[in-house]
Amino acid sequence: MLEQLDETYDTLRNHDTQAGMRSLRDRLRESRAELSPGEWRRVCEQLREHPVWRLLQECPLTGRAFRKPRGYPGDAVIMDLIYGTYEGPVPQEQDPSVQALYRASYEIDVFSAARYRLEQVRRLMQEVSEDFDGAIGAAVGAGHTRETVGHPALASGRMRRYYAIDQDTESLAVAGAQPGVVAVQASVRDLLTAGCLPHRVHFVSGAGLFDYLAERTAKDLIRAIKASLEPGGRILIPNVTRTFPDTAYLEAVMEWPLVKRDENDMERLFEGIEGMQRLVQHRDPTGSIVFAEAVF
Ligand SMILES: C[S@@+](CC[C@H](N)C(=O)[O-])C[C@H]1O[C@@H](n2cnc3c(N)ncnc32)[C@H](O)[C@@H]1O
């Protein structure tokens, strides 16, 4: 592995960033598939002592994902870097090699799947607002609620309000400043204790949250969401798949573990939830995220 890391380092330093990243992603993926969990942990440790890892940390997305300045992985600022909606110092204005690293990270399959996920939330917001005039939406684990930006349903008033529910007050300050968005500070634990959301709604997105929840918590949260759903409402739960191709890269380079689920796992999450008319599932084009859309 050490030799391969040296090679990748040379490729990246020779400014062939795309090729360097691709080969590193491939090698880490192969290595994770072949090794025992203990051996894989050692490879991750080895990587973090190698100059290639320090170089990769110069990418604003990668560096922040690893540092976790809010104390948890996948904060809303990282999501902005993934969506291209980042409002801080613009990576494009930085050093060309940093720009290249950021571009290569931006293209990682699971991040392009996250951009597709944002579009799916927007699609559902639209569909629900066609079913209900004055619909109310909500996101649990809302982050900056970028799905609401310029959304026609909110602009026209067909979606009356969108609740941004999150534990993170800094993220909620950004979310709540957007038209039609009402910030609600609550943790998953608060919602489970209450057994429902703070308001009744027609649509709930769980985008980007369930990838961090164990099965019991995920099931209980769906039950709490359902308790607040108006008849005919919908719940969208996306989740990274068990086979998503960059799990090794995220774990090794960014220390970003995720709870992975496939269609059967998603079905299990909704098992026993009363009143569900149908559960429709599909994957994004890269196969990195599965979307479970429940109609009640
Ligand atoms: C990956 S971000 C997703 C943000 C947004 N929904 C999106 O799709 O871009 C995950 C969000 O979930 C929130 N979160 C994580 N664990 C939580 C918990 N236990 N209770 C409430 N919010 C939580 C984080 O604060 C963060 O804003």
- What's the CA-to-centroid distance between 142 and ligand 1, angstroms? 6
Q: Average pLDDT, stretch 45-70?
A: 96
pLDDT, mean over the chain:
95
Between helix 96-106 and helix 17-34 the angle, nearest 10°, is 50
Domain boundaries, the chain: 2-108, 111-295
Helix (H, G, I), strand (E, B) or coil at 26: helix
pLDDT of residue 91: 56
The amino acid that residue 213 corresponds to is L
pLDDT of residue 170: 97
pLDDT of residue 93: 62
Judge if the beta carbon of residue 217 lies within 6 A of ligand 1.
no
First to last CA, the chain: 51
- What's the CA-to-centroid distance between 139 and ligand 1, angstroms? 9
CATH top-level class of 111-295: alpha beta
pLDDT of residue 287: 97
Q: Average pLDDT, stretch 12-41?
A: 94
The model's confidence at residue 3, banded by pLDDT at 50, 70 and 90, is: confident
pLDDT of residue 89: 66
Q: Which atom of ligand 1 is nearest to the CA of 74?
A: 1
| Exposed / middle / buried, residue 274 (Cβ in 10 Å: 0-12, 13-18, 19+) | exposed
Judge if the beta carbon of residue 79 lies within 6 A of ligand 1.
yes
| 27 token code pair | 């090698």
pLDDT of residue 263: 98
Judge if the beta carbon of residue 209 lies within 6 A of ligand 1.
yes
- What's the CA-to-centroid distance between 255 and ligand 1, angstroms? 17
d(CA 18, CA 27): 14
pLDDT digits (tens, 9 = 90+) for 148-206: 999 999 999 999 999 999 999 999 999 999 999 999 999 999 999 999 999 999 999 99
- What's the CA-to-centroid distance between 121 and ligand 1, angstroms? 15
Are β-strands 289-295 and 278-283 bridged in parallel, bridged antiparallel, or unpaired?
antiparallel
Q: H or E element: which one contains 269?
A: helix 263-270
Q: Which atom of ligand 1 is nearest to the CA of 171?
A: 27
- What's the CA-to-centroid distance between 279 and ligand 1, angstroms? 23
Judge if the beta carbon of residue 148 lies within 6 A of ligand 1.
no
Q: Which of 123, 124, 162, 166 to mutate to test the pocket of ligand 1 (most atoms within 8 A of CB)?
A: 166
Asked whether 29 and 248 are in contact (CB, 8 A), the reply is yes
pLDDT digits (tens, 9 = 90+) for 66-121: 999 999 989 999 999 999 988 776 655 678 889 899 999 999 999 999 999 999 99
pLDDT digits (tens, 9 = 90+) for 239-281: 999 999 999 999 999 999 999 999 999 999 999 999 999 999 9
Judge if the beta carbon of residue 171 lies within 6 A of ligand 1.
yes
Percent of the chain with pLDDT over 70: 98
